[in-house]
Chains A and B, each alone.
Chain A
Amino acid sequence: MKKLLIILALAGTMSLNSCVDLDIQPKNIVTDNELLSTPAGMDIYLARIYSMMPFEDFKYMGEWGFEYNGWLNSIGIEGTGEAVNRDGITTSFRGERTPYWGRAFETIRDANHLIENLPNYKDNFSEELYNHYLGEAYYIRATVFYTMAKRFGGIPLVTKLIQYPGSTEEMEVPRASEEETWDQILKDFDEAASLMMPKSPKVGYSNKYVALAFKSEAMLYAGSVAKYNQTVSGRLTGLGRKTGVRVIGFDDGTWESASKRYFTEAYKAARDIMKNGGYSLYKKKWSENDPEAQYQNMVDMFSDLSSPENIYVKEYIYPTSTHAFDAYNLPFTFRAPLSSGTCPTLDFIELFDGFDRYPDGSIRVTTGANNASGNYILYNNAADFFEKAEPRLRAYVIFPEDQFRGKQMEIRGGVYTGNTPIKPFFNNYSYSTADTRYQNLDIFSKSPKTLYLSPREGNSQEIVDYNGKQMTAAGAEGPFYDNGEATITGLYLRKWLNPSPDAEPGEGKSSQPFVLMRYAEVLLNAAEAAVELQLAGVASPDGSNLLQVASDAVNEIRERAGAIKLSSNITADITGRNIVRKERRKELAFEHKAKWDIRRWRVNHYEGRDGFWGENRDKNKFSNNENYRFRGLYPFFSTEEGKYFYDARFQWVSSKTFGYTPVDYYWEIPSAEVAKSEFIDQQPNR
């Protein structure tokens, strides 16, 4: 045994001697030589970056941030008012659980690496392709900077590859001012647009018009922030404690010119796409004066990959790359394993045409002057209430008794057995009484009982005898007052859901694409920038008639949506601006856009909240001086008349309140990043 060990030890020492300097590239390490030298290698390099791009789609949740998984994915529940969810994930957009910071710099480094090293392989590609790849790198960097700037204001502008290890001066990059940050974003988008091909060389790649479209969106954000920061107390600006740099907000002397510059760029970019991009609104099934066709057209457009409206799409393929949007958001009876994660609100559908209204503009449910007076209006069918509703709304939202996957949606809040005409259930519908619910009513809990409600589905349903038959109090699709798994507002989401009755239910079974950028947004970007420019007294950058462009854009969208067109051109005032804002709120709902819009308009905190809906609405109707809430629209059945009526009430099931203060317009920089660096500033107003 000992001998053996000695022999082995000897053999070991001798074999070490035979080693020479190892200067052969290990075969298992992939280097620039393989990646940056051929189109196939570039596919791999870019695909890796793209998989970590900050795209807000089915794999993103406002409350959690970029975690690149689709767990519980719901859209529009971030206190935007579009929808609410039963869980804690529905909360104001005041920050993300995983802040987009560290990972952002990894992606920036990948882009910078490409910018600095691709020139070594220039001869391997055609000039067009070489430029395109370089353009992709600028586009990626612009996207990451833009994603961060929306969240934090001024950010460290890392525009070159930092060598590691290195000295502190080389490695530490402090936050730039917010204005410098937006200027850099503008520069990078411009560089990308000038380098990239007009059509993507491959599916999934970006192109010139993708860069221009996001440029117009980013510049609209920058212009709005520069302008509307002024409407917030303290002008929402400040200097970093460590560097003295204006890390949030704009200098008193430059905000106005900056705002004009950014709106001009937003307009120019959008107009370039409108003139030269070759995109158009999706109207394959659309036909004039046919609401059914207009509705079907807008249902189809989000899953049709050949849509001429799509500018940038995140595609999914079953079974290798999938999401679970259906699994979390289908109506209750389809649940697999969850359901109804996105319940649209009454406040949201109030934006749309086709409803009777009270003098204050809210949707009419009674014969009186407001929903606390008069008698409930009775309908033969619950669906009659929505008979004239805008086709676009029907394509986004499932109404009570409407069809979905070949099934009629039985949505009913309860059954009323009292006499008709019926007076409103509550004598007070104001914000301060939002926590009084139907189950607190005497007509439900005391004798004589005339209101029947169900805490849960199945055997927990209350039963009412009606015409010799047994009728459950709540519909099969809810709402149930003790179970938030069904609708909690009386409405369900339709947009993005797979409408096919044959679709297999379950997590990881969905493969609908997510449209990250479409032509309708470009039109709305142009319209908003145009009105802002006219308001600021800036001459049209391309000689076009600004207000005409804005009016045409809005009308084009309204025509496709089946909405009422403008009766006269948009004017250069707040009313005109609000027409464009409201159209944006409607058209781009449930696309992760509204939460940024209300942020850049600075209309989320109490003082600015009148403008929350894009149009002017009295904030005291849906908020107190701190928090705000949203309402549902609950259908009830009257056994006396055999008819339906609706009650408009603050969210009845899983009630949620939302809050927002001016501090939230610039999120906290991750505190560990601030604590470990001598240069990274925290937001000065925190």
Chain B
Amino acid sequence: MKILQIMKKIKWSGLLWLSILISSCSFFERDNYAEPDVTLEGEVVDVLTGDRVLTDQGGEGIRVRLTELSWGSNVEPNPDFYCMPDGSFKNTKLFAGNYHITIDGPFIPLVRKDASGKELADESLVMDLNGTQKVKFEVQPFLKVEWVDEPIVQNGKITAKVKVTRAVSPVDFKTKVEPMGNYSDDLLNVTDIQFFVSYSSTVGYRARDERWSSSLSYSGKDFDPLLGQTITIVSNGEIPEGRTVFIRAAARINFDTPIGTGTRRWNYNEAKEVLIN
């Protein structure tokens, strides 16, 4: 009997203490900060043709970096996110504020600085974001990759034909990149063509199947005469029959974006669905 009473006392005093503790940290106050309800939609297009710049969704695709400047000068960027494979991006959970928006991908950098850090050009955006906002980046992609004909399937191997052309002229590239320092004509060399195969429709570098994806490598200026030519590429291994796979090709030049990251990003063509039979 006594023990029960003591237990009751402990219970009550415990509750009392809890309420004292809670009340001291504005527990009952409403969090009145506006929820992140701003939506930013964007697309990345080729300035010459107006076509979307296709990419892969992941660290090697087109990176979108937002920095909320409302906090003052010493701010760190928001966590990065990446474009969707079709070259568009969308973020529906942003706080309203003043933002710096920039993208990095397989195109001439938007923000260009010389070797001493002096700014040469800045095509990034600074804008107030509220409600739903749309932005469009017009860029100069390095390469354009296109399918030629339909792929052929034989004995579990896919044979596809692609054409790679320059989307930015070497002269334009040099004019814009040379002032950034360390320029060499070798930066323009096409180094490899990738042929990605996957069961996933978001096929690309990140969602490829190692067993079947293949690639062609080129050293030095070896690829230059092949620009605009039809290139045949064959998948690796043997893909089991009876299912569809998705394929995509990508090519890149010997230039990393942003400079110093060592990440050389690919330009892609659109994914194709192929039935293996």
**Which of A233, A238, A242, A432 has the most chain B CB atoms closer than 10 A to its own CB?**
A233
Nearest-neighbour CB distance to chain B for A641, whole angstroms, equals 33
For A232, the chain B residues whose CB sits under 8 A away are 262
CA distance A661 to B265 in the complex (A): 13
Check B76 against A233 for contact (C-beta < 8 Å). no
Q: Which of B82-90, B138-146, B224-232, B252-260 makes up part of the contact surface?
A: B252-260
Judged by a CB distance under 8 angstroms, whether A236 is at the interface is: yes
Q: A499 at the A/B interface (Cβ < 8 Å)?
A: no
A403 at the interface (CB under 8 A from B): no
Interface presence of B123 (CB below 8 A): no
Nearest A residue to B192 via CB reads: A625
On whether A685 and B260 interact (CB within 8 A), knowing A239-B117, A432-B211, A625-B215, the answer reads yes
Which residues does chain A contribute within 8 Å of B210, judged by CB atoms? 431-432, 434-435, 624
**Count the A residues whose beta carbon is within 8 Å of the partner chain — how many?**
34
Q: In the assembly, what is the distance between CA of A397 and CA of B255, in Å?
A: 43
Residues of A within 8 A of B213 (CB): 432
The answer to whether B74 touches A233, judged by C-beta atoms less than 8 angstroms apart, is no
Q: Tell me whether B76 and A432 are in contact (CB under 8 A).
A: no
Q: Is the beta-carbon distance between B254 and A233 smaller than 8 angstroms?
A: yes
* A interface, over-half SS: loop
Of B74, B181, B255, B259, the residue contacting A252 (CB under 8 A) is B181
- Is the CB–CB distance between A432 and B254 below 8 Å? no
Shortest CB–CB separation between residue A684 and chain B, in angstroms? 6
The chain A residue with its CB closest to the CB of B264 is A233
Interface residue from A239, A244, A252, A663 paired with B262 (Cβ < 8 Å): A663
Alpha-carbon gap, A235 to B258, bound state (A): 12
Bound Cα distance from A682 to B77, whole angstroms: 11
A residues less than 8 Å from B117 (CB atoms) = 239, 244
The smallest C-beta distance from B58 to any residue of chain A, in angstroms, reads: 11
Q: Are A233 and B256 in contact (CB under 8 A)?
A: yes
Contacting pair A661 B182 (CB below 8 A):
no
Residues 227-263 of chain B: 1 if any A CB is under 8 Å from the residue's CB, otherwise 0? 0000000001100000000000000001110111111
**Is A292 engaged at the interface, CB distance under 8 Å to the other chain?**
no
- Give complex CA distance A625, B259 in Å: 19
Residues of B within 8 A of A626 (CB): 205
CB closest chain-A residue, reference B75? A675
Main secondary structure of the interface of B (DSSP, over half): loop
Q: How far is A236 from B259 in the complex, measured between Cα atoms in Å? A: 8
Report chain A residues within 8 Å CB of B181.
Answer: 252
Q: Which of A603-617 contact B (CB under 8 A)?
A: 605, 607
Closest to A237 in B: B260
Knowing A252-B182, A685-B258, say if A661 contacts B263 (CB, 8 Å). yes
Interface pair B260/A234, CB less than 8 Å apart: yes
Which A residues are in CB contact (< 8 Å) with B4? none
Q: Once the chains bind, are B182 and A605 in contact (CB under 8 Å)?
A: no
Name the one of A236, A662, A674 contacting B76, with C-beta atoms under 8 angstroms. A674
Q: Is B171 among interface residues, defined by CB-CB distance under 8 A? A: no
The minimal Cβ–Cβ distance linking B63 to chain A, given in whole angstroms, is 11
Given that A252-B181, A432-B211 are known contacts, is A663 also in contact with B261, CB under 8 Å in the complex?
yes
**Is the C-beta of B115 less than 8 angstroms from some C-beta in chain A?**
yes
Which residues in A have their C-beta under 8 angstroms from that of B115?
252
| Distance of A306 from chain B, by nearest CB (Å) | 47
Complexed CA–CA distance, A432 and B209 (Å): 9
Scan A236-253; emit 1 where CB is below 8 A from any B CB, else 0: 111100101000000010
B residues 203-217 near A (Cβ < 8 Å) are: 205, 210-211, 213, 215
Residue among B213, B237, B259 with the highest chain A CB neighbour number at 10 A: B259
Report A-chain residues with C-beta under 8 Å of the C-beta of B211.
Answer: 432-433
Name the residue on B nearest A665 (C-beta).
B262
Shortest distance from the beta carbon of A7 to any chain B beta carbon, whole Å:
32
- A328 to chain B minimum Cβ distance, whole angstroms, is 32
Residues of chain B within 8 A (CB-CB) of A428 are 237
Q: Give Cα A238 to B182, complex, Å.
A: 12
Q: Of all chain A residues, which has the CB nearest B117?
A: A239
Q: Mark A650-665, 1 if CB is under 8 A from B, else 0.
A: 0000000000011100
- 8 additional A-B pairs beyond A233-B255, A625-B215, A663-B263, beta carbons within 8 Å, are A252-B115, A431-B210, A432-B211, A661-B263, A662-B262, A663-B262, A684-B260, A685-B261
Task: Report which B residues bind A (CB closer than 8 A).
Answer: 74-76, 115-117, 181-182, 192, 205, 210-211, 213, 215, 236-237, 254-256, 258-264
Q: List 23 A-B contacts (CB under 8 A).
A: A234-B259, A234-B260, A234-B262, A235-B182, A236-B262, A237-B260, A239-B116, A239-B117, A252-B115, A252-B181, A428-B237, A431-B210, A432-B210, A433-B211, A434-B210, A662-B263, A663-B261, A663-B262, A663-B263, A675-B75, A685-B260, A685-B261, A685-B262
